[in-house]
Every structure is written in structure tokens, then in C-alpha cells.
Amino acid sequence: MRLEPGRLLAAPALLLVLGPTAAGLAGTLLPAFGWLPALGRETFSLEPWRELAATPGLPRALLLALVSGVGSTLLALALAVAIAAALHGRPGERRLRRLLPVLLAVPHAAAAVGFAFLVAPSGFLARLVAPFLGLERPPDLATVQDPWAVALTLALALREAPFLLFVILAAADRPGLDHRLAAARTLGRSHVAAWLEVALPALWPALRLPVLAVLAYGLSAVDMALVLGPTAPPPLAVLVLRWMSDPDLDRRFVGSAAALLVLALTLGLVLLGRLAERLLARPFRVPPLVARAVDLVGRTGAVIVPASALAGLALLTAWSFAASWRFPALLPTGPDLSAWRAALPLLGPVALATTGLALASLTLALPATIAALEAPGRGRASALLWLPLLLPQVGFVFGLQVLFVRLGLAEHALGLVLAHLVMVLPYLWLVLRGPWQRFDPRLRAAARCLGCGPVATLRRAVLPVLLRPILAASAIGFSVSVAQYLLTLAVGGGRFPTLATETMALVAGGDRRRIGVAALLLAFLPLVATALALLPADRRGRPVSAGAPRLVQVLGKGAKRLSMSSSVKLSPAAPPPSTPS
Amino acid sequence: MRLGRRDFIGIAAAAAAVGAARASESFAAIVEKARGQRVFFNHWGGSPQINDYVAWAGGELRARFGVELVSVKVGDIAETVARILAEKTAGRTTEGSVDLVWINGENFKAMKDNGLLWGPITPLLPNFALVDTVGKPTTLVDFTVPTDGLEAPWGMAQFVLFHDTARLPDPPRSIAALGRWAAANPGRFTYPAPPDFIGTTFLKHVLYATIDDPRRLERPGEPASFETVTAATWAWLDAVRPHLWRQGRTYPANKEALHQLLDDGEVDLSMAFNPAEASSLILAGRLPASVRTFLFETGTIGNTHFLAIPFNARAKEGALVAIDFLLSPEAQARKQDERIWGDPTVLDLARLAPADRARFEKLERGPATLPPEALGPVLPEPHPSWTELLEAGWARRYGRG
């Protein structure tokens, strides 16, 4: 392989992410094969795998992981695509865009509790109908924690659909798409059919990795499964958590094997997904009936997705002020402010520390991500940046802890920043990769022709045009950092109280009041961040990435300066390069 | 029992501690050394009452001893055990990040077996002399495992059940009666899914009630004879299963979820390991005021929870001072106060000075707390090997989905 200096641009990001990831992986891999000297095991064996295979209920646990992981991903994707198809370019889109940050800011665990209170047999919907059915006691129906994980699948899909919709709408802000849609409609295609046939294939490359991230999350995350999933047996990821937190430390061996099984399952499904993608990737024609069905699903989904999340959030808010709220009462008694009185002090130094930590990891992660994206050939190695999102966190924190202790970074602020970066950077890369790939190379060429070096090109040509995706990615990275509980505690050792560490332990206490407060506190900072990130775009009222004229303006200023030292002149009338005329 | 190196150290240290004068002399030195230390106390942080109590203790320790107690709240103490294990794996045998942990039972056994604890510590604590080690034998034997002084008792626990008198005035007071009641009231009873701690403890009560010779449970359970010995246990569980909440197809994840089901009116019974828990949940508005506590007539399992210092703790002296303060009559009485926490003391009230005894005598009990004399016989925890066998047997039968 020829070594180009440019390739090294990806090195910092790869080092920062893959170093800890490799350590985390080793910390799972070695015990999975029976090796953990701290527990007196210094030989390799297949015993953990035999124990895993002999676990009663393992087939069902695997099946539940598949049902909830794959089912929720497909459902979320279908919902997001249908909503985008039905609403794109219509008045409803703007309203939904405004709501998306709110939906994305609610922590998963809180979303699960809100959803549970909505649909449980003693929940709000049951209370609405109770008077008409003469119910004095909640019906004995498994509307949550059902044996087939239907509730979990639905809740995961409703929580992830806004994320995918966010990605779709962000990717749809590109020059030329609207013209092509208009052309398709001129050719007699309906609004929805045109979107599915023209926009979806064009947006798919930007959507692919986020979909796989949703899949990996659905397979490996436990916070929603603990609230909404079945318990006997639970989905596989919850089994991993059970073993890893078993008082009997020898259970860590089978837990590690199970964590690897989750990883293998995820990787297998990712490959299967790529295969399916290749088989399905061909031009298609949407029959009118299907288009009408998609339109209906999209319009309904555009109501149900935000409504269910907002209802959950509203119910949690009501709970946070409730003295008591028993079936079949429609309204709580109260108000009882004790939960808030206990939590409000957190909004001082703790909220500040949380913000500082998130900003610090962003400050490191953003330049590293941009450098990796600038690496020539879009470095295949960079695809590895995505790895941390595939790993089940409970299985992977142990090795990370060992690494940070070895490096003397445990309980240090820098260590904590670096640990957060491992989770933040992959999301930045995921969100920014699409915009970077779509960036018109001719703009770069123009800047270089004007005498800009690589750094000046980046600063004057690339960054201004991609400002909006960068801000959006930063807001997501910020939210990811704020939500880290296990990682913060594992590396910080309690030295750095954050909103997550101070409130998530209370979630374990199961008090809906405290959970409501925790949800609102944890949603607060991401909401502020997202609002700030969206502000510049909103003020101008149109997306920056479609702003080639602005690029000309930016370059124009530079060009004026440049033209004093050279004879290059820029024509301000240059047409936006990628817009078909 | 095979005696390990630690056991000998324990015996030697205990003998040394007989010289009480020497102990208090050395404790004065410990207090001196502790001044200015920061003690990172890792504890389950799921209860605001407990967190507030720890915050109070922190304030007192700072004012009296110049020790700063930093509360590290975790959702599951296993996270802390894993952290200490990670430090051992990385070779960090001193300057560890955890100075004090709140543990018992299996977590203690795991930490003891793997050399993750420092000690023995109890011979160094002046207030340990006030502990009721005779009347409360579980202060020395944690789930049948000898503590060897590696952990200091902090509070007492006894398994209790809750019922809502508004819906169920006369609850079933034995396993047999519970089975009949569940069959007559389908969908109104369930228990947390083992291996949840409370769920497994409930199974142990079924085991106690259905096994021919309960004395067998003091000895290790044998996998070979387990199925025959426990045939009646599984017969009871099989019979009750179709009458459980959700027909026994799923179970609540833990006692918090079960309390919520009771509060939501989805079930009529709940269970816990603290005789005052129902009262404190009523005070917090998390259970109806009509909820009361009851026990099985033949007794329920009792145990003790402890404080311990990890092998690589940085502020060992500070941790010792903190433990000794938490064992003081003042701190123990405050902990037993149900308006504060409601965790029963480990101390022997007869050994206290009259003024200190008065602190306990003036405490009021909450509406749902049984008086100590009504708590009935305390069953010992079965040998830990039974836990494993029970959980595995349960998973084989009911955990396949």
C-alpha cells in the first residue's frame, strides 16, 4: 500500500476510538474464553460457551432479541420513510421538524417508562376507557412485558423513528433533490410515489449506517428492555446484564460469552442487511395502491410518533408533581413538589459539569472526525469508527476500565473526556459522513484554484457550507455524552457527578416521580443544545447546505484578499455548481 | 470448612483485639490519620431517603472528624464490584478508587473469595463492641458465610410481605394458604423473576415450607439429590403458576416493579426485605395508606447488610472512622427512624448507655411497621449453594418462555 501523508488524517480519530474499543473487546474476549487472572483463571477454555449453550431459555432469549431488534428497526424505518414520503415538502414537515429535537432528547429509559405508563393495564389509556367498561381493577392483560416483546418492539420503533426521520430530512437538504422530485411529478407520479422512487434511492446511502446503528442499539441496549421486555427469559442483552452484574463474579465468564454472541448476532445481521440491500437495490415502480397506503401510514405515523412520545413525556411530567395517582384515577392528586425540590440543586454545578464534559469531548471529537472525513479515499479504515456502536455496553465497559486504570486515566477529567469521546465520535462520524460525501468536489477545486491550501480550503469552502450538519451532529454528540451513565461511573469512579450519574441511580428505585424528574432533567440539556444548533439555520429560514451562493460570498471575500497578491479573479455570477439547469 | 489464610489472620486479629485498651489507643491513631481524607462510599443509590441519610452522615463526619464522605450512587453494587475487579486486573493494588462499599450475601462472598476486601476491620472499631452478635447471629455469618471481620454489620433485614387492607383484609399467612388463595384469586399474585434477590428469597420460603427436613438447608445442596428433595417445592410452584399475574408467562423484574403493581392495583401482595419499607413507601406516597405488613406464621428469612473496605482502598483510615461513626448509637438510631430511613439497628440496646437507649425507645413506628415482638421467628438463609440450584431449577422450568 502506498503511504500518503493524507491518510494519517484519520489516525487521531482511529486511535482515540479504536484504542479503548480494542481494550473493551479484549476485556470481553478473554473472559469469554475463560481467562481472567484477577479471578484466578489463567488458562483458556470453552467452558463459558458450554455454560451459555446449556442456559435454559437461551433460544427464546435469542429469538426475543431478534424480534425486538430487527422488528423495531424495520418498523422504525418503515415509519420514518412513510412519514418523509407523505410529508416532505408539505406544510406538516416544518411542524414535525420543530418537534424532532424534543423527541430525540428524551432518554431511552424515560421514554420506556412513559410508554409503559401510557399502555400498561393500569396505564393512562386503560383509565380513559375504564369508566365505560366498568373496570375497577386493571385488566390482567399483558400490554407491556408481553412474552413476545411486542410492547418493547413498538416502543423501540417509536423511539428510533424520529432519529431516522431526522437523518432522512437532514440528508434531503441537498441541492437538486426538489427539482428531480418536481420532474417526477411532472411525469405523472404522485407525491408519495415520486418520493419513494426518486428521493429514497438518492438518500439511502446516507441512511444505511444510521439504520444499522438503530439495529445494533435494538439488539444490545437494555434500558428499554428492562422496563418493557419480558423477564422469563428476557432478551439476550438483558441476560448479559444479569450475568455481568451477578454477585457471583464467576458469572462474568458466561456473561462475556453472551456479550460476544450479541456482537456476532449484530455483525451477522449487518452483513445480512447489506446482502438484502444489494438484492433490492434496483429501480422500482410504486403501484398507486401502495403509494396511497404509504401516504396513509405516513400521515398517521406523523401524528402517532410524536403524539406517543409527547404523551409519555407529559405523563412523566404529571407524575413528577403527583402525590399519588392510582388506578382508575385520570388525574393525580397533589401537587407534591418533593421530587423537584430534591433534584433542583442538580441544575447548578452538576449541570455545569455535565455541559463541560460534553463540550470537552466534542471539542476533541469534532476536529478528529473532520480530519478523518477529510482523509483521501474516504479511508476504508474509517468505517471502523463505527465499531463502538455495535458493542453491548455492559460487556465492553470492563476492558475499558482496565485500560484507563493502566494508563492512569481513571478518575481523571481527561480520562472521562476520552471515554465519552469513544461514544460521541462515532455518532459525529455517522451524521457527518453523508454530507461530506455529497460535498461538491468542484467547490474544493475552486478554492484550491484560488490559492487556498488544504486548511484554508477546509475553513473557507467546506466548513461554512457544512455548518448546519456540523451543528446538528454536535447536538447529537452532546446528547450522547449527557446520556452516558455506566461509562461515566466506570471511568469517573464517582469523582465527577453528572446529571446521568445523579439521576439514573434513582431510576433503579422505580419511583415514577423521580423517574419523571430524571427524564426532564436529562432531556433539558440536549434540548437546549439542539435548539442552539438549529438556531442559525432557522433564522435564515433555509438550509445552509443548499447555500452555494453563500459559498461564493465566502470565497469571494477570500478571493478579494487573494486577488491583491495574485491575478486570480472570481466571477460572482458563477452558478450553484450542482444544480441542474 | 477449609480454613484459608484470611481465616487465620481473622482469628489472630480478633485475639489481638481482646485488649480493648489497645484497640481504642490504635483507633485514636486512626482518627488522627483519617483527618483530611476523602472517603468514596459506593452504595445503591435508588432510594432518596437513603441518599439523604448518607448525606447527613457526610456532614457529621466532616464536622467531627474532618473526613469527607463522598457518596457514589450506583444502580447496582455489582457495578462497583466490577470496578474493583477491573482495578485488580490492571494491577492497581493500592490507591484504589473505592474506599467503602455497602454489601452483603453473595456480593460479600464473591469479594471475600477473590481477595477484594481489606481487613479484618471489626477488631479496629470501638463501636463494634455494641453490636448484638449473640441475639443477631447474622451480624457474624453473612448468608452462612463467616464474615471473619472483613465487613462490619450496618443494618438488619427481615423478609416481609405487604397487603392492601382495602382490597385484601385477611392475607394468606403461610405458603400453603397462599397457594389456595392464589388459585381462588387468579391474576392477583406474582413474585419478581429470579435471579432477582427478592424473587429468589420468595423461592427460599417455598423451599422452607415444602422440604421434608429444613435442617438440610444449612448444609450445601447436592445437585444429584436436588430434584427429589425439592419435588414438593416444584409441585407447589407448578400448581400456582397458572393463577399468577399474567398466568405466570412473565414476572415483574424486581421488588420496585412489584410495589408499583401493588400501587397500581394490578396485584394484591408485594414483598420486601425491610420491615419498615411499607411505611416509608406510604409516607412517600408510593403505596396506599391502607397497606400493611405481614409475615408467614412459620417465620421469614432474616439477614444483615454490611459495610466493607476494598483491598486497595486509598483512605482506609477515613473509611474506618466512617464505619465506626455509622455504628454509633446516634447514627444507628437516626437510621432506624422511619421518617429518615427505617433500617433496624444491629446494636444491642442492653449494652447502650441510658441516654443512647432512649434515642431508640422514643422512635415512632410507621403505620405499616410491625413491632419487633411481632416479627416472629427468623429463618436463617440457606447455604448459598441452594440459591444457585433454585435459580437454575426455576430458569429450566419457567424461564424458557
Residue A400 lies in a domain: no
Residue B373 lies in a domain: no
Q: Which of A231, A242, A406 sits opposite B251 (nearest CB)?
A: A231
Nearest CA in chain B to A230: B250
Residue B249 lies in a domain: yes
At A571, is the pLDDT very low, low, confident or very high (cuts 50, 70, 90)? very low
**ipTM entry:** 0.79
**Which amino acid is it at B270?**
S
Strands B378-379 and B38-44: unpaired
Residue B47 structural domain: 5-155+304-367
Res A223: pLDDT = 82
For residue B212, the surrounding DSSP H or E stretch is: none
- Would you say residue A550 has pLDDT above 70? no
- B273 and B133 in a common domain: no
Instruction: Name every chain A residue with its beta carbon within 8 A of the beta carbon of B253.
Output: 226, 231
Res B195: pLDDT = 87
Angle between helices A393-406 and B78-89 (to 10 degrees): 40
Q: Are A80 and A203 in contact (CB under 8 A)?
A: no
**Cβ neighbour number for residue A443 with a 10 Å cutoff:** 20
Distance from CA of B97 to the nearest CA of A (A): 6
**How many domains are contained in chain B?**
2
Distance from CA of B262 to the nearest CA of A (A): 10
- B275 and B140 in a common domain: no
CB-based contact A147 B47, cutoff 8 Å: no
Can you tell me the distance from the alpha carbon of B279 to that of B294, in angstroms, rounded to the nearest whole number? Answer: 12
pLDDT in tens, A327-369: 888 999 888 898 898 888 888 899 999 999 999 999 999 999 9
| CB pairs < 8 Å spanning A and B | 198
- B236 and B222 in a common domain: yes
**Which amino acid is it at B11?**
I
Residue A486 lies in a domain: no
Placement of cell 476520552 in the chain? A418
**How many domains are contained in chain A?**
1
Residue A86 structural domain: 60-90+147-306
Q: Are B131 and B139 in contact (CB under 8 A)?
A: yes
Res B24: pLDDT = 65
Strands B269-272 and B141-142: unpaired
- B98 and B73 in a common domain: yes
More reliable by pLDDT, B19 or A510: A510
Q: What is the domain-level CATH number for residue B114?
A: 3.40.190.10
B interface mutation test: which of A231, A256, A324, A394 has the most B CBs within 10 A?
Answer: A231
- B282 and B173 in a common domain: yes
Instruction: Name every chain A residue with its beta carbon within 8 A of the beta carbon of B91.
Output: 406
Nearest CA in chain A to B52: A342
Q: Are A213 and A430 in contact (CB under 8 A)?
A: yes
CB-based contact B400 A60, cutoff 8 Å: yes
Q: Are B89 and B82 in contact (CB under 8 A)?
A: no
The structure's pTM equals: 0.83
Torsions phi, psi for A164 (to 5 deg): -65, -40
- B103 and B75 in a common domain: yes
- B104 and B180 in a common domain: no
Nearest CA in chain B to A122: B264
Instruction: Work out whether the CA dihedral A69, A74, A77, A83 comes out positive or negative.
Output: negative
- B165 and B137 in a common domain: no
Residue A377 lies in a domain: no
Exposure string of A288-318, with b = 16+ CB inside 10 Å and e = fewer, is eeebeebbebbbebbebbbebbebbbebbeb
Grid coordinates representing B373? 415482638
CB-based contact B265 A137, cutoff 8 Å: yes
Grid coordinates representing A567? 491575478
Res A193: pLDDT = 94
Q: Which of B40, B260, B399 sits opposite A233 (nearest CB)?
A: B399
Grid coordinates representing A50? 458450554
Q: Which of A27, A146, A506 sits opposite B46 (nearest CB)?
A: A506
Rg of chain B over all Cα atoms, to the nearest angstrom:
22
DSSP code, position B344: P
Note down pLDDT in tens along chain B; length 401 residues.
Answer: 344 444 444 444 444 444 444 556 689 999 999 999 999 999 998 888 899 999 999 999 999 999 999 999 988 888 899 889 989 988 999 999 999 999 988 889 889 999 999 999 999 999 999 999 998 999 999 988 899 999 999 999 999 999 999 999 999 999 999 999 999 999 999 999 998 889 999 999 999 999 999 999 988 899 999 999 999 999 999 999 999 999 998 899 889 889 999 998 889 999 999 888 999 889 888 899 999 999 999 999 999 999 999 999 999 999 999 999 999 999 999 999 988 998 999 999 999 999 999 999 999 888 899 887 788 788 989 988 898 899 999 999 998 87
Distance from CA of B307 to the nearest CA of A (A): 16
